[in-house]
Amino acid sequence: MNKTKIFITVSLIWIIGIGYLTWYNGIKAPGRYRGFNWEEWFWFGILPALVPYIFYSIWRPESLKNFINCIKSIFKS
Please count the helices (runs of H) and the strands (runs of E) in the chain. Answer: 4, 0
State how many domains the chain has.
1
pTM metric for this prediction: 0.69
Q: In whole angstroms, give the CA distance from residue 77 to residue 31.
A: 53
Show the domain range for 67.
3-76
pLDDT in tens, the chain (77 residues): 577 778 888 889 999 999 888 888 888 877 767 777 788 889 898 999 989 888 888 888 888 888 788 778 878 86
- Count of C-beta atoms within a 10 Å radius of residue 22: 21
Degrees, nearest 5: CA angle 36-42-47:
155
Helix axes 47-59, 61-76, angle to 10 degrees: 110
